[in-house]
Amino acid sequence: MKRWFLLLSTIPAIAAPAQSPIRLSAWYWLNAAPREEWERDFRHMADLGFTHTALCWGFDSAAWVLRPDDTREALRGCRRAGLGAYLVMWHPEHNSLPRKPEFQQVDVAGQLRFSFNTFHRGWRATQWKQYLQTLARLCVKEPGFAGYIFDDSFMIGSVGQFSGGGGKPEQQFVSYGPDDRRRFGKEPPQRPGAPGWDDWVAARASWWEEWARNTVRFIREIDPHPEHEIYVEDGDWALSQAARDATGIDYRRVSGPLDAVGAYSMPRWDDSPDSRRKAVENTRRVLETTRAAVGPGKRIIYTFWVANILELRKPGPATHPTWDEIREICETALGMGIRHLDMYGYRIGDYVATAEDWPARRPPSKGAYRLADPYPGKHLWDRPALHAPLRDYLHALREGRR
């Protein structure tokens, strides 16, 4: 193991200064557990050493405003357990906000998409603002509340999950509707290299920045407290040139109004000799790329999967990540200056849904909800062999003994 420590000791710091208070969080799907088990799980998370949790309703990121009593109970349960709670309150498709065709995305073929057109100023000034401010009013006075998470806002992989459609990502994703044509001032190009493509990318980059500024302003009109963080995270793909072409996203510009950003990674552990090395190298690459994208001053929150994507749908308990594999990712990120480690996740359900079964799987506006088909033996809550070393490690981090 010494070679791992030698490797980590050479990694340059790229993030917040070391004196920043450390935060340790893990994702928790409320509908992956019966309501009566929430607080028990929160107390176990706190006992393990987590300082915060990222709460989520699987299949409906907007369920917070539909189930306000559950929102308050979850926040207060976290508070009683000694955890701060972030709410994962946006996903471009997994939300139950009512669809209006004029506010939905249109792809290059003129096909209406299920996702909202976040560039549409009319949508942001009405439905988006109302949703954000309704949620902010629910949370602003709750002492356990820590902040707002916007999940997968820019990720091509999520778009079209329900609506299908062909073509390349840059042809599928957003901005080919009447409002976009009007704002761009001419017919948008359809593929990289076409005349006017650079102008099209630049226009959408400015629209994303406008979205971020509007979003922060709408929340801060109700919740002015800077300790309630507003942050966006997406898969590390969103940092690529392919993402820039597909969506127009410029991470530095869109992150400017936000308190923090993240690009999450999904290590793929197996029994091969170089599996652990690849996971560490991927963590370094993601963090270096994120820092280069957002600039030197922006706070980075690093989320990584502690469920092994290669084993999620295989029978039997997971064999990876081992405790040493989790620790190596943590040490890599900490060695690069990260002060908020976020793990996906503590208790999570099956996240894949089709257009046909999604309405039945999302939580209803009131009453009992369907459990989100947990993956047995794949996440932290039911991998007890990880608990003792994780507890020792996280408490040592919090106490400055590492």
Read off the pLDDT of residues 83-130 as tens digits, 9 standing for 90 and up.
999 999 999 888 999 999 999 988 888 888 888 999 999 999 999 999
Distance (Å, whole) CA 87 – CA 148: 5
Domain assignment present for residue 13? The answer is no
Domain assignment present for residue 2? The answer is no
**What percent of the chain lies above the pLDDT cut of 90?**
75
Instruction: For residues 150-166, give the mean pLDDT.
Output: 56
Show the CA angle centred on residue 237, arms to residues 235 and 238, nearest 5°: 80
- Write the CATH number for 241: 3.20.20.80
Domain assignment present for residue 260? The answer is yes
Q: What does pTM read for this prediction?
A: 0.91
Q: Is the pLDDT of residue 75 over 90?
A: yes
Number of domains in the chain: 1
Q: What is the pLDDT of residue 7?
A: 33
Closest CA to 308 of 271, 266, 337, 338: 266
Structure tokens at 298: 């922006």
Domain assignment present for residue 8? The answer is no
CB 228, CB 145: distance < 8 Å: yes
Read off the pLDDT of residues 320-331 as tens digits, 9 standing for 90 and up.
999 999 999 999
Residue count (the chain): 402
Read off the pLDDT of residues 226-272 as tens digits, 9 standing for 90 and up.
999 999 999 888 888 888 888 889 999 999 999 999 999 999 999 99
DSSP for residue 398? H
Closest CA to 218 of 129, 119, 127: 129
CB 181, CB 175: distance < 8 Å: no
Q: What is the pLDDT of residue 18?
A: 44
Q: Is the pLDDT of residue 161 over 60?
A: no
Q: Is the pLDDT of residue 384 over 70?
A: yes
In 117-258, where do the E strands start and end?
A: 145-151, 229-235
Distance (Å, whole) CA 23 – CA 25: 6
Question: Which residue segment(s) compose the domain that 168 sits in?
Answer: 21-398
Domain assignment present for residue 9? The answer is no
Domain assignment present for residue 5? The answer is no
Domain assignment present for residue 351? The answer is yes
Distance (Å, whole) CA 196 – CA 111: 22
Distance (Å, whole) CA 55 – CA 106: 31
Q: Taking the CB of residue 37, how many other CB atoms lie within 10 A of it?
A: 14
